Amino acid sequence: MTPLSGRLSPSYRSGVVGIIGRPNVGKSTLLNYFLGEKLAIVSPRPQTTRTRLLGVLTRADAQVLFLDTPGFHRPEHALGRSMLKAAHAVVEEADVLVAVIDARAGITPDDERVFGRLRQAKRPALVAINKIDLVKKPRLLPILEACAKTRLFAEAIPVSARTGDQMPLLLERLVSLLPEGPRWYEPGQRTDQTTRQLIGELVREQALLATHQEVPHAVAVLIDALEHGEQLVTIQATILVERPGQKAILIGRGGAMLKQIGQEARRQIERLVGRKVYLGLWVKVAPQWRQDERMLRQLGYVS
């Protein structure tokens, strides 16, 4: 990357903040909160985030390049392996790391494995104890102590990425750990995701929210066509699943489920593109796509 020209104060700070943690602790919610918009999709299903995702926050005194990651998990297929690889790569790439844990659970064995990875990385790090809106204050004390005991973190900060509680403090602390540096991105640039990718993710999010158990893991979305008209953005997309039973679930009785997914996704996409959207949705069975390197490339999950 080459820095942008232009005069910035000599104390300008910039760098990469890697957001790491086990699945479902709220990493993507944290990124969206800092960016003030939905860059990363969020769901109660584990492993919602499948790739590394950049969110750029530009301020007068600093530019923070947040990298959201798929959670550290035990991979079971080619997609899982590439997700884990992405998480490891972010640890290497980051100037500062923020480990996210869930205040309801404290430090679990899975969190400890993440901490082990962080220990190897030898980067300045903070731990965000997230979801404090769901626990009583006294429950936080032993977690804070346990975090201090690891000696891994400059600070442990209880936050709620959902309500925003303590999030400004977390941001200030992260910025203070960044090195001095230039602006790498134009202030208007928020992410490295294309509109096409963001649209695919918004469709996938609704499919995740509408289904349970193994179905969410089997879902991927291909954007077949995307046309920007003056009044209307026209999109054709295919939802891939691995088995005919999953296809039946997604379509639903008389197509009701697919209709619901399409309506909500369309609303979200209209917010993203700022225009009316026509969204045509299909569901297709692609057996074993998670093991298929060519398909993973086409979906943008591996490069």
**Residue found by looking up tokens 């400004």 in the block:** 168
Shortest spacing between CB 44 and ligand GDP, in angstroms: 4
The count of chain residues that interact with Mg ion, using the rule CB under 5 A, is 4
The answer to whether 26 and 101 are in contact (CB under 8 A) is no
Q: State the CB neighbour count (10 A cutoff) for residue 122.
A: 8
Q: Which distant-in-sequence residues (6+ apart) come within 8 Å of 131 by Cβ?
A: 25, 26, 102, 103, 104, 160, 161, 162
Check the CA dihedral 187-192-197-202 and report its sign. negative
Shortest spacing between CB 209 and Mg ion, in angstroms: 14
Cβ closest to ligand GDP, residue 46 vs residue 300: 46
Which residues on neighbouring strands pair with residue 225, listed in sequence order? 236
Cβ closest to ligand GDP, residue 7 vs residue 74: 74
Return the one option of Mg ion, ligand GDP, none that residue 293 interacts with (CB less than 5 to 8 A, by type). none
Part of the chain binding Mg ion (CB under 5 A), chosen from 10-18, 23-31, 242-250, 283-291: 23-31
Shortest spacing between CB 9 and ligand GDP, in angstroms: 34
Collapsing DSSP states into helix, strand and coil, what is residue 39?
Answer: coil
Residue with the shortest CB distance to ligand GDP: 26
130 binds Mg ion (CB under 5 A): no
Which residues on neighbouring strands pair with residue 278, listed in sequence order? 234
Shortest spacing between CB 42 and Mg ion, in angstroms: 7
Sites of contact with ligand GDP (CB under 6 A): 21, 23-29, 42-44, 48-49, 71, 130-131, 133-134, 160-162
Q: State the CB neighbour count (10 A cutoff) for residue 194.
A: 12
Which residues on neighbouring strands pair with residue 67, listed in sequence order? 18, 54
The answer to whether 12 and 183 are in contact (CB under 8 A) is yes
Report CA Rg, the chain.
Answer: 20
191 binds Mg ion (CB under 5 A): no
Can you tell me which of 14, 43, 47, 49 binds Mg ion, judged by CB under 5 A? 49
Shortest spacing between CB 23 and Mg ion, in angstroms: 7
28 binds Mg ion (CB under 5 A): yes
**Residue found by looking up tokens 């731990």 in the block:** 127
The site for Mg ion (CB under 5 A) is made up of: 27-28, 48-49
